[in-house]
A and B are shown apart, each in its own frame.
Chain A
Amino acid sequence: MRGDPGNFEVLTPTSLPEALRLMSEAALDQDSPLLKPLAGGTDLMVLMEMGALQCERFLSLHAIDELRSFRPEEDSVAIGAAMTFSRIRTEAILREEFPLLCEAAGQVGALAIQNRGTLGGNIANASPAADSAPALLAYDAELEIVSQSGTRRIPYSAFHTGYKEMQLRPDELIRSILLPRKWKGCHQSFRKVGARAAQAISKVSFAGVLRISDGLIQEARIAMGSVAPTPLRCVHTERALQGKKLDFSAIGRAKEALFKEISPVDDIRSNREYRLRVSLNLIEDFLLSARK
């Protein structure tokens, strides 16, 4: 049954402190329904139309300028949680230093979705297929999370705790996504495998970063989407590569580690067998391309 837009209340704070006050009041008041943050609507409006929304009240973030800011600092860049994928993929510093995130942003839906969808929304929607997630994991992203009681930082790799579960209290908002500026010059690659290039939700996605010097892998980051209940940083695969020469035995050990650490399932978009095989092909491709 179609959802009725008349069932939903929307609050529209114009500043972050006002937003956090409203979130805190809603979280404390037992009788009041929780407030769900609403950014570009590209996920929530679909659920509303399907009549599948679990909440009654939204906090629209569109009038809070601070959440759309991009702040490059010396050691890291801070991407405002409500920055759209269109802006991310065209931001010069991100294109130069974080190409995997820009490539992922360019493969979210198509242009009309990229103009509305936000990085924070992609994270808080908490899908294991989220397009931005592998790149964020591979770049050691941290989340800056705010509430009326203060600010905390959490590594993105610790944020998702289970299928659609995350470390975010009802009174908290993601303010920004922080990326350390240490990946320039690394070998890196992003791949999204879906039914077609545009609009498809991924069957499998992959991000890899290797820092190679003196013929040895000094640092490895491997992350994947749609192969586990959450976006997955593949730490065992990374360990199999760390400090090694990038030869065929290292590639073999990395594939073995990846095989053991991912747990893809059958669903409407793909099946376990296909996802396993493609995942192994993706890591092999990536490592072989780094040898060239």
Chain B
Amino acid sequence: MSAPKKISLHCTVNGEPRELNAYPMARLLDVLREDLRLTGTKEGCGEGECGACAVILNGELVNSCLVPAIQVQGAEILTIEGAANHPIAAQVQEAFLRHGGVQCGICSPGVILAAANLLSHDKAPSEADIRESLAGNLCRCTGYSKIVDSVAYAASDLKGTRS
């Protein structure tokens, strides 16, 4: 068997086209953090349980620790570094700042992207919708109340700006 080779990978990250070489089974998480130096995406459990590494891949929330590089060829990826330029994610960030949705901050990149993903699909989520959408993101500081409040505020802020 020939030794595995790195592949040439093209994808769009936070709106910018990027090219790099990576092993096909490299985790998207490591590609983002090590190759692209986008260290906003965090590693928590490394097995898809905690959501700290969540990013938005082709419009869908995924755990980047479980995505092999070969499967993001040509993909569009949004990480927390791109949130400030994303209309919905930026509002979510604002709401988290104002309403105390962040404590230690490790879960925040994943939580904010999960919330932005929710608000992209559902403009007026109920508390139950918010909790279900964030069920894959573990936070050990806040007890979740301030996070859920922040997302609810972000939803009403977004409604305000639109009307």
Residues of A bordering B, CB below 8 Å:
5-10, 12, 32-33, 38, 40-42, 45-46, 48-50, 56-58, 60, 62, 86, 109-113, 115-116, 197-199
The stretch that binds A, out of B42-50, B78-86, B92-100, is B42-50
Given contacts A111-B61, A115-B62, contact A199 B70 (CB under 8 A): no
Q: Is the pair B67, A198 in contact by a Cβ cutoff of 8 Å?
A: no
6 additional contacts, CB 8 Å, given A62-B70, A111-B117?
A9-B2, A49-B27, A110-B135, A110-B136, A112-B63, A112-B114
Q: Is the pair A7, B4 in contact by a Cβ cutoff of 8 Å?
A: yes
Given contacts A111-B114, A113-B136, contact A41 B2 (CB under 8 A): no
Q: Is the pair A45, B135 in contact by a Cβ cutoff of 8 Å?
A: no
Is B153 in contact with chain A by the CB < 8 A criterion? no
A-B contact pairs, 26 of them (CB 8 A): A5-B30, A5-B69, A6-B4, A8-B24, A9-B1, A10-B4, A10-B25, A10-B68, A10-B70, A12-B24, A33-B1, A41-B68, A45-B68, A46-B48, A49-B27, A62-B71, A109-B136, A110-B136, A111-B114, A111-B132, A112-B48, A112-B51, A112-B61, A113-B48, A113-B136, A115-B61
Max chain A C-beta neighbours (<10 A), residue from B27, B48, B51:
B48
Is B155 in contact with chain A by the CB < 8 A criterion? no
Is B66 in contact with chain A by the CB < 8 A criterion? yes
Contact with A along B13-30 (1 / 0, CB 8 A): 000000000011111001
The chain A residue with its CB closest to the CB of B57 is: A115
Residues of B bordering A, CB below 8 Å:
1-2, 4, 23-27, 30, 46-49, 51, 54, 60-63, 65-71, 114, 117, 132-133, 135-137
In the complex, number of A-B residue pairs with CB atoms less than 8 Å apart: 103
Q: What's the Cα separation between A41 and B61 when bound, in Å?
A: 15
Q: Is the pair A5, B135 in contact by a Cβ cutoff of 8 Å?
A: no
Q: Is the pair B66, A115 in contact by a Cβ cutoff of 8 Å?
A: no
Max chain B C-beta neighbours (<10 A), residue from A48, A60, A109, A115:
A115
Query: Which residues does chain A contribute within 8 Å of B68, judged by CB atoms?
Result: 5, 10, 38, 41, 45, 60
The chain B residue with its CB closest to the CB of A199 is: B49
Q: Which of A5, A62, A86, A199 contacts B26 (CB 8 A)?
A: A5
**Whole-angstrom distance from the CB of B9 to the nearest CB of chain A?**
12
Q: Which of B23, B48, B60, B71 contacts A5 (CB 8 A)?
A: B23
Query: Which residues does chain A contribute within 8 Å of B2, judged by CB atoms?
Result: 9
The chain A residue with its CB closest to the CB of B71 is: A62
Query: Which residues does chain A contribute within 8 Å of B48, judged by CB atoms?
Result: 42, 45-46, 109, 112-113
Q: What's the Cα separation between A50 and B1 when bound, in Å?
A: 23
Q: Which of A10, A50, A56 contacts B24 (CB 8 A)?
A: A10
The chain B residue with its CB closest to the CB of A31 is: B1
Q: Which of B66, B132, B135 contacts A41 (CB 8 A)?
A: B66
Q: What's the Cα separation between A7 and B68 when bound, in Å?
A: 13
Q: Is the pair B135, A49 in contact by a Cβ cutoff of 8 Å?
A: no
Q: What's the Cα separation between A109 and B65 when bound, in Å?
A: 15
The chain A residue with its CB closest to the CB of B110 is: A112
**Whole-angstrom distance from the CB of B130 to the nearest CB of chain A?**
12
Q: What's the Cα separation between A45 and B23 when bound, in Å?
A: 14
Q: Which of B25, B51, B67, B133 contacts A116 (CB 8 A)?
A: B67
Given contacts A45-B68, A60-B68, A110-B51, contact A9 B61 (CB under 8 A): no
Max chain A C-beta neighbours (<10 A), residue from B26, B54, B61, B133:
B61
